[in-house]
């Protein structure tokens, strides 16, 4: 089957030859074609170009995109969208003045989500998660990563990973699975962190490998959670299983975790709300993608990742939702892109690069999605009629999407 988009006001993120990611000053360059066509064959981008060279319409499904913008769907490289229940009671506590940390210290936070998840059946977990996944797909997400990490006991981590696998098998968009081995220390291991880590790794890694449940490993490297030394130990153990590191780091404190991530060739280092000059220096010359999660900063009222500092240092930056029940209960990438412009002072062009090709790189999908390139998956966003691409982030909270296409088909 062939679908031909004609009269596209502007086709965004056009890369004749795919790039792995864009960095520094290049992030502000978003290649586009005005008055364009794009042809989809089966599930792939077959060709595109200016309207003058548009192929004949005969025998094709034609979508007239007059006045509308077409761009690659969002690549959300950091989510926890498999979770059970939610944490609206903690939300009210925070409104009354308790901090994220204070809530976690009284047994709320990640431990609260773990308790609920442990008591939830795999079927129910799958059903709850599928609703969220379908919602973010309608909001334009065409590839994403999902982490475990709310199990905190091996059996429940495996339950999460198997639910992620089922979502991978039953969903039409690429999903990457990450084993978040160390998210918080459960009560039972309060004074035995090493025991917790050994148990988790020894019990989960062999099963994960046998059942092919994940391609990446994650750790929450933070004061009061897991140290840079713990992080190194986990990333070391994961090497034997071929798992790619992607770590939570520098959310509240800079404690040297970025350097550990880079040392172990982390694909991405995520959060970075607190970022030192030493962290920036370590990232320069590495292949590690910094990932900002502005939904978390917005929801918790913590600092925003210093995008200008990162980009000025010549580094790349990706944007992701962090969709989770505690610090970012929304997977809406349109909101993420707006927030990055409004509060992180990124340009619209930078945010689109960050939320497409750089997000794809952060989850090792840059050859499959993230740009308008022949052979890539036809996962696309068709906007409503817009005066320019700037309206996408500018009109925050508005629904600017007319239709999402996954594998070339409208959803
Ligand atoms: O990425 N920072 C660690 N993990 C999640 C939040 C976890 C939670 O509060 O449930 C995050 O923000
Ligand atoms: Fe996260």
Give the confidence band of 404 by pLDDT, cuts at 50, 70, 90.
very high
- The CA 265 to ligand 2 mean position distance, Å, reads 19
The pLDDT, as a whole number, for residue 322 is: 98
Among 369, 356, 343, smallest CA distance to 27 is for: 356
> Once rounded to an integer, what is the mean pLDDT over residues 195-224?
98
Reduce the DSSP state of residue 102 to 3 states and report it. helix
Tokens, residue 296: 């978390």
The pLDDT, as a whole number, for residue 177 is: 98
Order of strands across the sheet that contains 216-221: 74-76, 141-147, 175-182, 216-221, 244-249, 268-271, 289-292, 318-319
- The CA 309 to ligand 2 mean position distance, Å, reads 22
Query: pLDDT tens-digit profile of 33-78?
Result: 999 999 999 999 999 999 999 999 999 999 999 999 999 999 999 9
- The CA 405 to ligand 1 mean position distance, Å, reads 30
322 lines ligand 1 (CB under 6 A): yes
- The CA 326 to ligand 1 mean position distance, Å, reads 6
Mutation test residue for ligand 1: of 327, 329, 330, 336, the one with most atoms within 8 Å of CB: 327
Whether 105 shows a pLDDT value over 90: the answer reads no
324 lines ligand 1 (CB under 6 A): yes
**What is the helix (H) or strand (E) element at residue 300, kind and residue range?**
helix 294-300
251 lines ligand 1 (CB under 6 A): yes
User: Which residue's alpha carbon is at the smallest distance from atom 5 of ligand 1?
Assistant: 327
CA 272 and chain centroid, separation: 14
For residue 325, give the ligand 1 atom closest to its CA. 10
For residue 149, give the ligand 1 atom closest to its CA. 4
User: Which residue's alpha carbon is at the smallest distance from atom 3 of ligand 1?
Assistant: 220
Give the ligand at the shortest distance from the Cα of 110: 1
The pLDDT, as a whole number, for residue 363 is: 98
Q: How far apart are CA 259 and CA 235, in angstroms?
A: 13
Contact residues for 80 (Cβ-Cβ < 8 A; gap 6+): 146, 147, 149, 150, 180, 322, 323, 324, 325
Query: pLDDT tens-digit profile of 305-363?
Result: 999 999 999 999 999 999 999 999 999 999 999 999 999 999 999 999 999 999 999 99
Give the ligand at the shortest distance from the Cα of 87: 1
For residue 100, give the ligand 1 atom closest to its CA. 9
Give the confidence band of 107 by pLDDT, cuts at 50, 70, 90.
confident
> Once rounded to an integer, what is the mean pLDDT over residues 12-28?
96
Whether 378 shows a pLDDT value over 90: the answer reads yes
Q: How far apart are CA 62 and CA 213, in angstroms?
A: 39
Q: How far apart are CA 203 and CA 184, in angstroms?
A: 17
Query: pLDDT tens-digit profile of 141-200?
Result: 999 999 999 999 999 999 999 999 999 999 999 999 999 999 999 999 999 999 999 999
Whether 106 shows a pLDDT value over 90: the answer reads no
User: Which residue's alpha carbon is at the smallest distance from atom 12 of ligand 1?
Assistant: 327
Q: Which residues pair with 12 in a beta bridge?
A: 32
- Provide the mean pLDDT of the chain: 97
Mutation test residue for ligand 1: of 326, 329, 330, 362, the one with most atoms within 8 Å of CB: 326
The pLDDT, as a whole number, for residue 130 is: 98
Contact 114, 120 (CB under 8 A): no
């Amino acid at each position: 089957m062939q679908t031909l988009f004609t009269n596209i006001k502007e086709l965004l993120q056009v890369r004749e030859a795919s790039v792995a990611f864009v960095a520094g000053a290049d992030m502000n360059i978003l290649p586009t074609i005005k008055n364009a066509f794009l042809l989809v064959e089966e599930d792939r981008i077959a060709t595109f170009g200016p309207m003058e060279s548009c192929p004949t319409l005969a025998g094709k499904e034609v979508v007239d995109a007059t006045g509308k913008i077409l761009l690659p769907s969002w690549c959300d490289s950091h989510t926890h969208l498999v979770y059970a229940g939610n944490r609206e009671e903690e939300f009210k506590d925070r409104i009354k003045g308790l901090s994220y940390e204070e809530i976690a210290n009284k047994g709320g936070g990640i431990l609260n989500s773990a308790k609920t998840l442990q008591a939830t059946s795999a079927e129910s977990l799958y059903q709850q998660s599928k609703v969220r996944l379908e919602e973010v797909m309608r909001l334009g997400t065409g590839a994403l990563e999902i982490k475990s990490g709310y199990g905190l006991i091996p059996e429940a981590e495996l339950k999460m990973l198997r639910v992620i696998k089922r979502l991978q098998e039953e969903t039409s968009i690429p999903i990457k699975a990450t084993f978040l081995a160390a998210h918080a220390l459960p009560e039972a291991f309060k004074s035995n962190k090493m025991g917790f880590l050994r148990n988790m790794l020894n019990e989960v890694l062999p099963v994960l490998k046998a059942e092919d449940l994940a391609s990446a490993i994650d750790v929450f490297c933070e004061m009061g959670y897991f140290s840079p030394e713990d992080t190194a130990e986990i990333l070391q153990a994961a090497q034997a299983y071929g798992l790619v590191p992607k770590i939570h780091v520098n959310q509240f404190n800079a404690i040297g975790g970025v350097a550990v991530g880079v040392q172990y060739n982390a694909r991405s280092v995520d959060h970075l709300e607190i970022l030192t000059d030493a962290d920036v220096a370590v990232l320069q010359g590495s292949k590690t993608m910094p990932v900002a999660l502005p939904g978390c900063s917005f929801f918790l009222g913590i600092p925003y990742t210093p995008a200008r500092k990162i980009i000025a240092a010549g580094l790349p930056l990706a944007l992701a939702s962090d969709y989770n029940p505690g610090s970012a209960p929304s997977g809406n990438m349109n909101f993420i892109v707006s927030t990055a412009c409004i509060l992180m002072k990124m340009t619209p062009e930078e945010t689109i690069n960050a939320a497409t090709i750089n997000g794809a790189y952060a989850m090792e999908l840059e050859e499959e999605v993230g740009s308008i390139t022949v052979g890539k998956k036809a996962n696309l966003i068709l906007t409503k009629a817009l005066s320019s691409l700037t309206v996408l982030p500018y009109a925050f909270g508005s629904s600017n999407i007319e239709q999402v296409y996954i594998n070339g088909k409208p959803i």
